[in-house]
Structure 1
Amino acid sequence: MENASKKWVFKGNKALEAADAICVRGVLNMLNDNLNGDDNKPAIPLGHGDPSVFPCFRTTAIAEDAIVEAVRSAKFNCYSPTIGILPARRAIAAYLSQDISYQLSPDDVYLTVGCNNSIEVIISVLASPSANILLPRPGYPMYESRAAFSNLEVRHFDLVPEKGWQVDLDSVEALADENTVAMVIVNPGNPCGSVFTCQHLKKVAETAKKLGIFVIADEVYGHLTFGSNPFVPMGKFGSIVPVITLGSISKRWIVPGWRLGWIVTCDPNGSLKKSRIAESIRRYLNISADPPTVIQVKLNVSLLEDIDDDMDFCLKLAREESVIVLPGVAVGLKNWLRITFAVEPSTLEEGLGRIKTFYNRHMKQQ
C-alpha cells in the first residue's frame, strides 16, 4: 500500500496577505485588463509613475555615456560590497554634503537596489517585539507589506489636504507611545504631489525629537534620473556616480523624486513648459496652483449619476475612454484620484479631455 501524501505544512503569512490585498501595480493591472479591446482610441496611462518611458523625459546623454563607459571598462564586473562600492558612496556623500552644515563620509551612505530594497533594510533594522511605526495616509503600501513581514505594528497619521498635504502633527503625537520607533515622511509628496516647506519640515523634526523617534525621509534627497534603468548607481554599477555627479552634468539632472518627473526640474527639453500644459491641467481639473506632475484630486461621487466610488470611476473610465488613473483607495485615501502628468504633452491634453467628457457623461442632471 502506497504511503498517503502529507498535506502541505506551509500556510502563508495571513498578515502579509492582508497588507498586500491592494497594491498600486495590482490595481493598475486590473484597470488595464478592463480596457475595451474594441475601442480604437489609444490607451492613455495617467496612473503610472515613471516618466522615463516618454521621449520628452529622456535621460541626458552624459548619464547614458557614463553607464556605457562603466560597463566597457570591465572594472566593475566582480561582486561588490553589499552597501555599494566606495567611489559611488564617496561621490554621493560629497554631493549631499553641499546642502548641510557638516561633512558626510562614505560610511554614512548605504546604497540599495531601488526604493523597495531600502524599505526592506530599514524596516528589518527597526522591527523588534512590541515596536510600532507611524506611516502617512495616503501613502504607498510597500511600507505596510514589509512591516507585516517583519511583525512591526503600523499606525497611520493623516496628511491634511486643506494644508497642502502637511503632516497632521497632532495625530502623530496622539499615535506615538514608548514603543514607537520611527515615522515616515515622503517629500516631495508621492502620491500627493506636494512639497513641504522648510518650516514644516523643521516642525516635523522637532516633533520627532520630542517623541524620541527616527524620521525615515523617503524621496528627500532623490535619485539620479535614469528612469527604471537597471544601471542606477547601486552595487557594482555604482561606478557611474562619480562620473555624473562630479563631472559637467547639470544639477537639474539630480532631482528629488525622479519617479514623479517634476516639471520644474525634470523637463530637459522644455517641452512641458512650451506646451503651456499647466494651464490645461488647471482648466480641466479646476485647480488654481501650478501642479507638479502627480496630483491627488477629490472625487465627489454625489455629483455623479452611476458612480459608486473611486474604484468604480476608474474602472468605467478605463472601459469607456481608455484612460487609466489610479483610484485613491490604492494609496489609502478612498474617493480621491491620483493623476500623473508625466507623459507627452499632447497625450496629456487628450487624456484630460477624455476625463472631462467622461465626467460630463456621468454627471447628474440638474
Structure 2
Amino acid sequence: MKFADRMSLLGTENAFEVLAQVKKLEAEGRQIVSFAIGEPDFDTPENIKVKGQSAIDQNYTHYAPSAGIMELREAVANHVSKMNGITVGPENVVITPGAKPIIFHTILSLVNPGDEVIYPNPGFPIYESVVRFVGGKAVPVALREQRGFSLDPEELESKITEKTKLLIINSPQNPTGGIIAEQDLQKIAELAVKHDLWVLSDEIYSELIYEGEFKSISSFPGMKERTIILNGFSKTYAMTGWRIGYGVMCQPLAELMARLVTNSDSCVATFTQMAAVEALTGPQTAVQEMVQELKQRRDVIVNRINQIPGFSCLTPKGAFYVYANVTKACQMLGLPSSRELQQKLLLEGNVAVLPHTSFGSRNEGDSEEYVRFSFATSLENIHEGLDRIGRVMETVKSS
C-alpha cells in the first residue's frame, strides 16, 4: 500500500505514546503514577454540564455556521477584548473542535512551501510537525532555563530572514511553565512589525497564572492585525473531551479559516458551543478554585523535586507543568539522556514523566537534560510519585 509522501513529514504528540505505554503497564497490573498528560484532573464545572445537557434537550443538535454560532462568537469577542485589552468582534472569531485546529488552519492559511516559521523550542510538538507537513521550514528559537524560559528577542532576531513568514509564541508555556516577560513581548512585537511577520499567539494557558497578570502580544501597537490568538476551553474549564476552542484574528483571515472548517469539520457540535457560552458568561468560581488548587500543587511539587538528588527546577509562573533539569540525575545513574531516565522511572519506579525529546530536538550548544512533570494531578499522587523517584535515586547511593 502506498501513502502520500507528505505523511512522512507529520510528527505526533509523544505524550499520547507514553500514555499508551502507561495503559499497557496498568493492564498488566502495575499501578503507575502519571505526570505525563497535560489534562486537568478536575471535572467540568456543573453549570457548564447542565447547559450542555439542556442544549441537547432544546435540540441544539443540528448544523451550525462553520465559524461558530453567533452567541459564542460574541461571547469570545467580549472575553478576548476584556482580557487582552483590544477591541474585536464576532467577525474576528472562528470556533474549532479544540484549539489545536487553529494551529493547523493558521499554518495552512499563511505558509507556502519554503516559507520559514519560527517556533519555541522546547515547545508543543505540533507546531514543528504541521510546518514541515505543509512544506515550510521550521526554525527553532531556544527557551533557556537561565532566562526563566522566556524567549530572548535578540536570539529571535538572529533567526529572522527574508523567508520568515510566521512566528509562534506560547505564554504561559508548555512544557516549561515559563511566561514571556512583558519587556520581551514588547521587543518581539517590534520585531514582528519591523519584519512584517504574522504571529500565532498560543494563549491556551492564559488564565492559569500564579504570579502577575497575563499580557498578550496582541495588545502592543500594530499587533492586533497581525496576531492570531489561539485559546480554548480544555484547560481553563476542564473541558478536554468537549473538543472546543477558538481563534481570534483579522476578518479576512477569519473568513479563510472558516472556509477551512467547512472543508474539514463542517462545524463544531452546537450543544458544545452552547456549553462554551455558559463557560465564558457564567460564574467563574470553579476556575478560581482550580487555579488556587494548582498553585498549591505547584508549590509542593517544586519543593519536593528540588529535594531529590540530581533533580532541580524553577518555579513555573503559569500552566501546570514543571520542567526539571535532570542532567545530574542522568550522570548519577549512568544514563545518556532524559529519554533513558524517563524509561527507568517508568519501568523501575512506576512513574510516568516526559523527556525533553517529546518537545523538540536539543537546541544548538545545549547539553542539559530535562523532563516534564504535569502537576494536574492530586497532592496524594504528587507525594507518592516523587517518593518513588526518590527511591530510584537512592539506588545510586546503595550501589
Normalization by structure 1: what TM-score? Answer: 0.82
- Of 3, 12, 32, the residue aligned with 1:43 is 32
Q: Against the structure 1 CA distance between its residues 329 and 34, is the aligned structure 2 distance closer, same or farther, given a 3 Å change threshold?
A: farther
Deviation at 1:228, TM superposition (A): 1.6
- Of 114, 119, 143, the residue aligned with 1:130 is 114
CA offsets 1:265-313 (integer angstroms, 9 cap, x no match)? 6247x48739973544554454464775301111225632332211111
Q: Against the structure 1 CA distance between its residues 304 and 32, is the aligned structure 2 distance closer, same or farther, given a 3 Å change threshold?
A: farther
Deviation at 1:96, TM superposition (A): 1.2
- Of 213, 220, 232, the residue aligned with 1:223 is 232
Which piece of structure 1 moves more, 232-241 or 333-342? 232-241
Does structure 2 retain, via aligned residues, the 8 Å contact 1:88–1:240?
no
- Of 255, 266, 281, the residue aligned with 1:246 is 281
Q: Against the structure 1 CA distance between its residues 168 and 274, is the aligned structure 2 distance closer, same or farther, given a 3 Å change threshold?
A: closer
Structure 2: how far apart are the matches of 1:312 and 1:288? 22
Which piece of structure 1 moves more, 155-164 or 276-285? 276-285
Deviation at 1:168, TM superposition (A): 2.4
Normalization by structure 2: what TM-score? Answer: 0.75
Alignment-derived partner of residue 5 in structure 1 = none
Q: What's the secondary structure of 2:96's corresponding residue?
A: coil
CA offsets 1:240-278 (integer angstroms, 9 cap, x no match)? 23333223x12763xxxxxxxxxx76247x487399735
Alignment-derived partner of residue 337 in structure 1 = 371
Q: What's the secondary structure of 1:83's corresponding residue?
A: coil
Does structure 1 retain, via aligned residues, the 8 Å contact 2:169–2:202?
yes
CA RMSD of superposed structures (Å)? 2.9
Deviation at 1:29, TM superposition (A): 2.8
Q: Does the alignment pair 1:66 with 2:66?
A: no
Does structure 2 retain, via aligned residues, the 8 Å contact 1:133–1:182?
yes
Q: Which amino acid aligns with 1:350?
A: E
Q: What's the secondary structure of 1:307's corresponding residue?
A: coil
CA offsets 1:210-253 (integer angstroms, 9 cap, x no match)? 22111110125543313322264645231223333223x12763
Q: Against the structure 1 CA distance between its residues 329 and 31, is the aligned structure 2 distance closer, same or farther, given a 3 Å change threshold?
A: farther
Q: Against the structure 1 CA distance between its residues 23 and 272, is the aligned structure 2 distance closer, same or farther, given a 3 Å change threshold?
A: closer
Deviation at 1:333, TM superposition (A): 5.1
- Of 269, 282, 297, the residue aligned with 2:324 is 297
Q: Against the structure 1 CA distance between its residues 178 and 223, is the aligned structure 2 distance closer, same or farther, given a 3 Å change threshold?
A: same
Within-5 A mapping of 1:159-308: 159-219=143-203, 221=206, 222-224=231-233, 225-230=237-242, 232=244, 234-236=268-270, 237-247=272-282, 249-250=283-284, 253=287, 266-267=290-291, 270=293, 273=296, 277-278=300-301, 279-284=303-308, 285-287=311-313, 289=315, 293-301=320-328, 303-308=331-336
Q: What's the secondary structure of 2:290's corresponding residue?
A: coil
Q: What's the secondary structure of 2:143's corresponding residue?
A: strand
Alignment-derived partner of residue 315 in structure 1 = 343
Q: Against the structure 1 CA distance between its residues 67 and 209, is the aligned structure 2 distance closer, same or farther, given a 3 Å change threshold?
A: same
Equivalences, count: 337
Structure 2: how far apart are the matches of 1:363 and 1:188? 37
Deviation at 1:197, TM superposition (A): 2.6
Which piece of structure 1 moves more, 155-164 or 289-298? 289-298
Runs of 5+ in structure 1 lacking a partner?
1-7, 254-263
- Of 53, 57, 63, the residue aligned with 1:79 is 63
Does structure 1 retain, via aligned residues, the 8 Å contact 2:313–2:325?
no
Which piece of structure 1 moves more, 83-92 or 331-340? 331-340
Structure 1: how far apart are the matches of 2:72 and 2:358? 35
Structure 1: how far apart are the matches of 2:67 and 2:296? 39
Which piece of structure 1 moves more, 322-331 or 273-282? 273-282
Deviation at 1:77, TM superposition (A): 1.4
Deviation at 1:34, TM superposition (A): 6.2
Structure 2: how far apart are the matches of 1:195 and 1:174? 21
Structure 1: how far apart are the matches of 2:159 and 2:23? 38
Deviation at 1:37, TM superposition (A): 4.0
Alignment-derived partner of residue 216 in structure 2 = none
Deviation at 1:19, TM superposition (A): 4.5
Quick one: percent identity of the two aligned structures?
21
Does structure 2 retain, via aligned residues, the 8 Å contact 1:34–1:318?
no
Q: Against the structure 1 CA distance between its residues 330 and 286, is the aligned structure 2 distance closer, same or farther, given a 3 Å change threshold?
A: closer
Q: Which amino acid aligns with 2:38?
A: G
Structure 2: how far apart are the matches of 1:200 and 1:315? 36
Deviation at 1:199, TM superposition (A): 2.2
Q: Against the structure 1 CA distance between its residues 20 and 327, is the aligned structure 2 distance closer, same or farther, given a 3 Å change threshold?
A: same
